[in-house]
Structure 1
């Protein structure tokens, strides 16, 4: 029954994708974030035939002035990143991402709180992007904590877009792209303080949003295993299908949405080795660094330990287990279905976190099966 469900879902997704492409061809963004600390995976190692945009992760402004102070070592990294990727065959566009999951969100909250600090941040960000030859800027603020900060974010996007367009017109060159990494759902419905992203400002001022469709489950809850990037979840709204739907319902255009896909898995330690399904009781994190393993590490672990691999058709995800070790992740099968789902929904593309996590480009190349044209932004 599970195999039949999977085949049926894949047929529906592929058929819907073909229908969307035939009626209204959708440009495709095939993007990935490159961690600047990945010293063993330089930009030159990226196969640019598989991508259209690569994000440099990350840069942070000064926590007091909100301006960017680039050290000599960072300047070398930034210059090498853009020059290498612009001269690859084929070249890809480069976007400087600001913030990240490990950044202090209070810095952005204070910066966005008034016009003068927003202006200092915006002008400095544009200057840095132009200096090092980036094609765009991306904000990864994780996350605004209340309605006021969400409103401030809307003001920030509006003023940022205005400044980008003004400078581009003055200098007579194309405007920088402006994007933002955002939560999987438009609203934070599970949190004590309810808030929602400024949809109107996003619709008007951003080229697209990178919807982070992952980290639904993880080491913050070690009691049960989970699909951390579930496409569907019949028991809750914590899923990609719900999240994407919430953005569309709020009026954010489908063509301004890029779906996030993880090139990593999350791990748990099973309470009982014999009970190993999604939702099985666990007593802690499993293998990997703080319960996280790249897809490449997962594949090596499974092979070395002769782990049992299971495809879960309900959530459209994979998991493997051996002894008390349990890993939830995506592979080529689940990613192919998810990319097809995104295309069927009319989304403009997908992105991976992070590009260095793949194994022989097995997952990254799946998007080529769904791409009918390249993005021209």
Structure 2
């Protein structure tokens, strides 16, 4: 954390016990369509903020800032200080200005640290005051809390406490500043695919968050190499592993549609087919397919090149609203312009708050 924020943080910590139960003033539904994108800070060389096509967006997320495992404050390294400053300045310099938000933790961050954070009132207070101090220092428009994922009902209850206390702090300490509070979440409020039953505190989230970023992807992947799968299908005719089921459940459980933002991936997941002649959805596979990192992940730009270079057959699955391609024994499942358009049309019909992409540069 920059030295200039220390005094502010100490002051907020002293005030925290007095305001924490003062109010949990609810946020209002977004008044405009949210068109968001997450900018991974590690892409600073290939896609610096100045290279982003801002005409596509209303909100940009800086991904990610970690937590100090001991103090539970946001950990702003010299690298993040440099690029967070660059990011917010560039985003705000657009005409009209866009909103710059900071996403915290992320999928690769140690979830035990987050569980420890939310389990204790003092650590929650320290964290919340750290975020407010950072927001003021970097002129941020808000935060996204990306915990992937709470592991049991107790952690869900503690997460609800964090949301309540965070909103109370923002309302009391920043009455004249609009500071957005969002959370990146599982595609469904219920972890119905898990052996540990648990559900998000939807009622609290509806009251305290400006919106949720529903991660409507990774339904299938390297954890099951025996058959191909569409990892971001809008519909699933056989199971409830789909975007429409997940978002519909969020709304049925009480999250206002305008506070539900549909997440779309700018990457695909790939498999190696057992037999090149069997190349449909659910066809037998023997391994992950082409892609970096040994997990069969391929960004959209690479998918387009792969299809062109290998003369791949591209299939637009009308029933599932998803795309796949195959060439030889390589099978790729992903979204393209066609399926994205279909998902946006679905979101408009459902009255959703908008959409986001993970991630810029893909």
For normalisation by structure 2, the TM-score amounts to 0.89
Q: Does 1:341 align with 2:332?
A: no
Query: Is contact 2:65–2:75 with CA below 8 Å preserved after alignment?
Result: no
**Which residue of 110, 123, 127 corresponds with 1:117?**
123
Unaligned runs of 5+ in 1: 1-24, 358-377
Matching of residues 103-252 of structure 1 within 5 Å: 103-169=109-175, 173-252=176-255
| Aligned partner (choices 57, 68, 89) of residue 62 of structure 1 | 68
Check conservation: 1:48, 1:89, Cα contact below 8 A: no
The answer for the alignment partner of 2:321 in structure 1 is 316
Deviation of residue 26 (structure 1)? 7.0
Contact 1:48 1:91 in 2 (8 A): no
Rounded to whole Å, the distance in 2 between the matches of 1:130 and 1:274 is 59
Q: In structure 1, what is the Cα distance between the partners aligned to 2:55 and 2:96?
A: 6
Q: Which has the higher contact order (CA 8 A, sep 6+)?
A: 1
SS of residue matched to 1:355 = coil
Q: Is the 8 A contact 1:222 1:282 kept in 2?
A: yes
State the 1:27 CA deviation: 2.7
* Deviation by residue 1:161-201 (Cα, 9 ceiling, x = unmatched): 011111112xxx31310000000000001111100000111
Runs of 4+ in 1 over 3 A off after TM superposition: none
Q: 2:337 aligns with which of 332, 345, 355?
A: 332
TM-score normalised per structure 1: 0.86
Distance 1:26 1:80, change over 3 A: closer
Cα distance in structure 1, aligned partners of 2:240 and 2:47: 36
What 5-or-longer segments of structure 2 have no aligned partner? 1-29
* 3-state SS of paired residue (1:283): strand
| Alignment: residue pair count | 330
Q: How big is the alpha-carbon RMSD for the aligned residues of Structure 1 and Structure 2?
A: 1.2
Equivalent residue, structure 1, for 2:282: 279
Determine the structure 1 residue equivalent to 2:267. Answer: 264
Equivalents in 2 of 1:163, 1:153: separation in Å?
15
Structure 2 match to 1:46: 52
Aligned with 1:216: secondary structure? coil
C-alpha displacement at 1:88, in angstroms?
2.4
122-131 vs 142-151, which deviates more?
122-131
Residues in 2 aligned to 1:69 and 1:344: alpha-carbon distance in whole angstroms: 41
What is the CA-CA distance between 1:89 and the residue it aligns to? 3.4
